Amino acid sequence: MSHFTYLKTSFKNLLHLENALTKLEIPYKREKKVIDANNSKLYNVNLVISQSNNYDITFNWNGEEYELVLDASFWIQPYPVESFINKVAQQYASDVIIAESQKIGFQPIKSQQHLDGSNTITLQRWSSTSSLV
Q: What is the pTM of this model?
A: 0.82
DSSP string, the chain: ---EEEE------HHHHHHHHHHTT---EEEEEEEEETTEEEEEEEEEE--TTS--EEEEE-SSSEEEEEEGGG--SSS-HHHHHHHHHHHHHHHHHHHHHHHTT-EEEEEEE-TTS-EEEEEE---S-----
Q: What is the 3-state secondary structure (H, E, C) of 65-94?
A: CEEEEEEHHHCCCCCCHHHHHHHHHHHHHH
- pLDDT tens, residue by residue, 92-125: 999 999 999 999 999 988 888 888 878 888 999 8
Domain ranges for the chain, please list them: 4-124
pLDDT, tens digit only, all 133 positions of the chain: 457 787 778 899 999 999 999 999 999 999 998 776 666 777 889 999 999 999 999 999 988 999 999 999 999 999 899 999 999 999 999 999 999 999 999 998 888 888 887 888 899 988 766 555 5
Report the C-alpha gap between 133 and 119 in whole angstroms: 40
